[in-house]
Amino acid sequence: MTLYIGREASKLWKRVCAEVTAEITLLSENWKYLLAGVIFQYIHGLAARGVHYLHRPGPLLQDVGFLLLPELGLDKAYISETLFTLIFISFFLWTFHPFILKSKRIYTVLVWCRVLAFLVASQILRIFTFYSTQLPGPNYHCREGSKLATLPRPDSALEVLLINFPRGIVYGCGDLIFSSHMIFTLVFVRTYQKYGTRRFIKQFAWLLAVIQSFLIVASRKHYTVDVIVAWYTVNLVVFFIDKKLPEMPDRTSGASLLLPLTSKDKDSRNKEENHKLLNGNSGDPTDRRQRTQVNGKNLEDGNTGHPDTAMNGV
């Protein structure tokens, strides 16, 4: 038993080391995209903080969701935040599963490049939208009579730049159309829908997204229009941007060329290449042209090109 545990631990360590090597290579090529995406998260928070200075509380707007869904109340407002945190943490941990699990389809660096691209594009549209029209916030701290509904003029630019994190984010007002929580939720669900492997989890993730939508409205954190606009806007953004980005390498067919090979893998590849040479095929594993031997000569299909193995995920 001890020997088995030691052997499995050794395999796991080698797998982690190999994955770290591959991810570092990708990180060295894509760090600018990741850094830009992370910086824009701060810019988005800064914009949301800025619109709070413009917010003016007023009577709640007529809303179909408010009429149909019972109000959870201030004491149960944490429910929607708890579900969102669960979705966020689950997705974050899933993106790092290639470091541990043997079966994998993604590279952590490349999938986060795509996720941040989706988030940034959606958040740019969101900033333009909530600055265009400021609606009276339906949340409890944004209503008339609340001290947090409006912010006094800042004493300095530093006060604005610090955005009073995290309190300034949690108790923001005015950044309504469209829901930021739904941006993150839908981007995560769409990404797992494409690269995840468990059908049940995919279906469950979409169910959680629907439940999250209802909870946001029932908690009075957003109007129904904020959630509806998020559903079609984010899905369209992800659809079009995903078509523009180069596809990630498919890791399901075997060991990727990005990962360092073990001696056993090298011997297996050498045997495969020798077999191809004996049958008249090139030893280059990237050469996929079809060849047919006629009277000892190789005829190539000139219509078939060399597929490039994508190293860049953005």
Question: Does residue 44 carry a catalytic annotation?
Answer: no
pLDDT digits (tens, 9 = 90+) for 49-85: 999 999 999 999 999 999 999 999 888 888 999 999 9
Q: How confident is the model at residue 2 (pLDDT cuts 50, 70, 90)?
A: confident
Rounded distance between C-alpha atoms, residue 115 and residue 128, angstroms: 20
Asked if pLDDT for residue 131 goes beyond 50, the answer is yes
pLDDT value of position 305? 44
Based on the residue annotation, tell me whether 97 is a catalytic residue of this protein. Answer: no
Q: How confident is the model at residue 152 (pLDDT cuts 50, 70, 90)?
A: confident
Q: Is the pLDDT of residue 142 over 50?
A: yes
Look at residue 308 and give its three-state secondary structure. Answer: coil
Tokens 């850094």, residue located = 35
> Binning pLDDT at 50, 70 and 90, where does residue 267 land?
low
What pLDDT is attached to residue 88? 97
Average pLDDT in the 119-132 region?
A: 96
Residue 87 scores a pLDDT above 50: yes
- Going from the C-alpha of 20 to that of each of 6, 205, 252, 256, the distances in angstroms are 21, 28, 18, 14
pLDDT at 85: 95
Distance between CA atoms of residues 200 and 253, nearest Å: 22
Sorting pLDDT into bands at 50, 70 and 90, what band is 162?
Answer: confident
Give me the mean pLDDT over the 128-153 stretch.
Answer: 91
Of 160-164, 188-192, 199-203, 222-226, minimum mean pLDDT range = 160-164
Question: Per-residue confidence at 98, pLDDT binned at 50, 70, 90?
Answer: confident
Catalytic residue among 222, 275, 284, 306: 222
Give the C-alpha separation, 261 to 250, whole Å.
17
Query: What is 216-276 written as a DSSP string?
Result: HHHTTSS-HHHHHHHHHHHHHHHHHHHHHSPPPPP-TTSS-TTSPPPHHHHHHHHHHHHHH
The residues facing 298 across adjacent strands are 293
Residue 145 binned pLDDT confidence (cut-offs 50, 70, 90): confident
- Which H helix or E strand runs over 299? strand 297-300
Helix axes 224-244, 180-195, angle to 10 degrees: 40
The pLDDT value recorded for residue 157 is 79
- Residue % of the chain over a pLDDT of 70: 77
Amino acid 229: pLDDT: 97
Catalytic residue among 44, 141, 181, 284: 181
Question: Who wins on pLDDT, 162 or 277?
Answer: 162
**What is the pTM assigned to this prediction?**
0.77
pLDDT of 303 reads: 45
Q: What is the DSSP string of 138-194?
A: -SGGGSTT-TTSS-PPPSSHHHHHTTTTTHHHHT--S--SS-HHHHHHHHHHHHHHH
Whole-number average pLDDT of the chain: 82
**Which pLDDT score, from 0 to 100, does residue 180 have?**
94
pLDDT (average), residues 148-170:
77
pLDDT, tens only, 198-225:
999 999 999 999 999 999 999 999 999 9
> Could you confirm whether 141 is annotated as catalytic?
no
Minimum mean pLDDT range among 84-93, 129-138, 230-239, 251-260: 251-260
For residue 4, name the pLDDT band (cuts at 50, 70, 90). low
Identify the active-site residue in 75, 226, 267, 306.
226
Cα–Cα nearest to 18, from 116, 76, 104 = 104
Q: Cα–Cα distances in Å, from 154 out to 19, 52, 157, 170, 173?
A: 47, 11, 7, 19, 16
Say whether 280 sits in a helix, a strand or coil: coil
As a whole number, mean pLDDT of residues 146-158 equals 84
